[in-house]
């Protein structure tokens, strides 16, 4: 019997333009991008003429804020355009070079404006607030001033701030190196089905392969994917070590007690929020053990393996074209009103917010990215699965959060914190899931829908808290001056997953242990735990909106429009949830437990 033909991912050039992000809405051509980049590199140094002058008068300060905000917006467009192009095709070496140039531009801008905060601090809080009240062009700075003086102990002299700003460019290389290596240069061996078909394995296909009903496809995909990373474990370990040491450097340079404090202080979030999450997760690990037992029984296997986590429990999984996904998501989001839904639909179907399908060189996963003045774009690899509907709903939550923030806030408040970012995305998934559960009574569809929910909870309420525990330990080792190696990382990761899997799951320690290398999120200091706090706040808020609680939808939209004009915890309180306690996390584990119960019932 002849081998089945190997199917390959299409090159970027074969993706229909209507299925790609609307790059020309940002810059009409790469030449236009190059022209703007060169112009900005010439104009940014002009901001230096304000150095030493911000204390002259409210008018001078307002002039500086207006000019620097305008340059940051333009530079943001340059930065976004280049990095989006690279993410969609890391084989595009021109885009890779542009991303490097844009990073240098942002670093230059940060270094050039480093004098501003030390000068404002030197003015004193009360005099500065008087200026804010006197000069209409400064009115919007009241929250910024409060936050600036809150951070006063960690703002260094102008010279030190300039050096820290310049350090951003070389330090950013570690994340870029990881992306290039894992998206372009690791030669993943193809997966092989039980019938001998060779299946292309890459960042754009791994999730689809792991969701295959064919166990041999899943096994070879999972093992070959892990083996690709294991072959480069020392390089990846050294690279992640550099990122961790970068975090330690910044924390010490700004005089924080720890990297955790440094990461959370920026957004006025207490470290207790981190430990609340980790402690609540550990208390609820038995819920996961129960889920593994139900999944093993439903699959009819003697031993559950990690590659069985995504195995379909029904053979009748729905095929959902992209346009149908947009319709379902629009219907699910109706509780937020006609304007919200109309904007979302227009973005998906007319304005090309979404780079939809997989192609060679496209980076792993999905994200929403843009800048005030652009569309809130989405990069993903849509494969017509219910899981992809969920991913699209998730990223549209981010995009609508950005859209409403950009519509309602000045530039200085448009970069909302990571602590609130994952609320909007998971909120959308919760509403869409509720809509589909109510409108599709078919048993197989409900099983597939619960599997989608469990896959999302697995990522947010199992993987991410586990990575958070790993991240904390690795940073603490670095803070103590202990050596960090790929072997140590893999051992710790395997230990943590073994605790979470319990006796129901076989643990291949090397392949499970290399999970740390598969998540670029670890290059963002203490980001991963905020996925779990985000899904917790999202389900607590969705409960009120779905129940028709008076003001719940309106307060949630106000939260989306607030950006960083409020501290994250205050913004969430405005929406209707208090994240200073573990209540929302416990409540969401209750949602998880109900899904486990329902799956147990449906699969018997």
Task: Provide φ and ψ at 291, rounded to 5°.
Answer: -65, -40
Residue 141, token pair as written in the block: 């700075």
Query: How would you label 308-342 residue by residue, b for 16+ Cβ within 10 Å and e otherwise?
Result: bbbbbbbeebbebebeebbebbbebbebbeeebbe
Residue 212, token pair as written in the block: 């295959």
Is 554 a residue of the active site?
no
Tell me the C-alpha distance between 347 and 351, whole Å: 5
Task: Kindly write down the DSSP assignment for every residue of 185-240, as one continuous string.
Answer: I--PPPEE-TT--EE--STTTHHHHHT-S-HHHHHHHHHHHHHHHHTTHHHHHHHH
Tell me the C-alpha distance between 77 and 275, whole Å: 37
Tell me the C-alpha distance between 246 and 237, whole Å: 14
- Cα-to-chain-centroid distance, residue 314: 30
In degrees to the nearest 10, what's the CA dihedral of 566, 67, 166, 484? Answer: 20
Task: Provide φ and ψ at 300, rounded to 5°.
Answer: 70, 35
Tell me the C-alpha distance between 27 and 298, whole Å: 51
The candidate with the shortest Cα–Cα distance to 454, out of 274, 324, 598, 322, is 598
The candidate with the shortest Cα–Cα distance to 418, out of 249, 207, 571, 588, is 571
Task: Provide φ and ψ at 448, rounded to 5°.
Answer: -60, -40
Catalytic one among 175, 179, 395, 479?
A: 395
Alpha helices in 440-565 (DSSP H): 443-458, 464-479, 486-501, 509-513, 529-546, 552-562
Instruction: Return the bridge partners of 304, or none.
Output: 505
Task: Provide φ and ψ at 360, rounded to 5°.
Answer: -60, 135
Strands (E), 351-494: 354-355, 367-369, 377-379
Active site residues: 395
């Amino acid at each position: 019997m002849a081998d089945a033909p190997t199917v390959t991912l299409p090159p970027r050039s074969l993706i229909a333009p209507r299925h790609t992000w609307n790059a020309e809405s940002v810059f009409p051509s790469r030449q236009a991008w190059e022209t703007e980049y060169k112009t900005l590199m010439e104009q940014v140094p002009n901001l230096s003429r304000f150095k030493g002058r911000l204390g002259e008068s409210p008018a001078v300060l307002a002039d500086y804020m207006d000019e620097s905000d305008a340059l940051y917006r333009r530079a943001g467009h340059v930065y976004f355009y280049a990095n989006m192009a690279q993410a969609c095709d890391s084989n595009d070496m021109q885009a890779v070079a542009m991303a490097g140039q844009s990073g240098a531009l942002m670093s230059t801008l940060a270094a050039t404006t480093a004098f501003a905060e030390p000068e404002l601090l030197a003015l004193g809080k009360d005099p500065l607030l008087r200026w804010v009240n006197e000069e209409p062009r400064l009115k919007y700075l009241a929250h910024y001033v409060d936050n600036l003086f809150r951070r006063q102990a960690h703002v260094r002299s102008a010279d030190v701030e300039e050096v820290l700003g310049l350090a951003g460019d070389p330090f950013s290389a570690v994340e870029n190196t990881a992306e290039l290596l894992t998206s372009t240069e690791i030669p993943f061996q193809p997966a092989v089905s039980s019938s001998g078909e060779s299946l292309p394995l890459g960042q754009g296909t791994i999730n689809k392969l792991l969701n295959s009903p064919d166990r041999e496809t899943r096994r070879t995909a999972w093992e070959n994917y892990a083996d690709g990373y294991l072959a480069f474990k020392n390089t990846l370990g050294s690279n992640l070590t550099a990122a961790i040491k970068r975090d330690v450097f910044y924390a010490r340079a700004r005089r924080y007690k720890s990297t955790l404090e440094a990461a959370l202080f920026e957004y006025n979030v207490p470290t207790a929020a981190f430990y609340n999450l980790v402690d609540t997760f550990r208390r609820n690990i038995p819920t996961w053990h129960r889920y593994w037992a139900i999944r093993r029984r439903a699959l009819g296997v003697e031993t559950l393996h990690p590659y069985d986590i995504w195995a379909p429990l029904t053979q009748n999984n729905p095929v959902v074209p992209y346009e149908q996904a947009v319709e379902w998501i629009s219907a699910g989001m109706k509780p937020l009103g006609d304007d919200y839904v109309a904007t979302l639909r227009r973005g998906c179907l007319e304005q090309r917010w979404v780079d939809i399908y997989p192609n060679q060189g496209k980076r792993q996963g999905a994200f929403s990215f843009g800048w005030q003045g652009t569309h809130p774009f989405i990069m993903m690899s849509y494969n017509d699965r219910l899981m992809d509907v969920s991913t699209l709903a998730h990223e549209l939550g981010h995009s609508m959060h950005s859209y409403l923030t950009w519509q309602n806030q000045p530039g200085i408040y448009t970069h909302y914190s990571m602590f609130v970012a994952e609320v909007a995305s998971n909120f959308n998934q919760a509403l869409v899931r509720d809509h589909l559960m109510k409108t599709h009574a078919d048993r197989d569809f409900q099983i597939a829908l619960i599997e989608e929910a469990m896959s999302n909870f697995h990522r947010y309420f199992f993987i991410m808290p586990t990575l958070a525990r790993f991240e904390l330990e690795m940073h603490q080792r670095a803070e103590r001056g202990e050596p960090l190696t790929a072997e140590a990382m893999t051992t710790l990761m395997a230990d943590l997953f073994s605790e979470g899997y319990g006796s129901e799951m076989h643990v291949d320690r090397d392949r499970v242990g290399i999970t740390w290398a598969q998540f670029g999120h670890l290059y963002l200091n203490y980001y991963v735990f905020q996925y779990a706090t985000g899904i917790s706040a999202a389900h607590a808020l969705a409960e009120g909106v779905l129940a028709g609680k008076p003001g719940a939808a309106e307060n949630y939209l106000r939260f989306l429009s607030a950006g960083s004009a409020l501290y994250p915890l205050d913004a969430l309180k405005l929406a209707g949830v208090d994240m200073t306690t573990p209540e929302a996390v416990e409540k969401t584990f209750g949602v998880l437990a109900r899904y486990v119960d329902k799956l147990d019932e449906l699969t018997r």
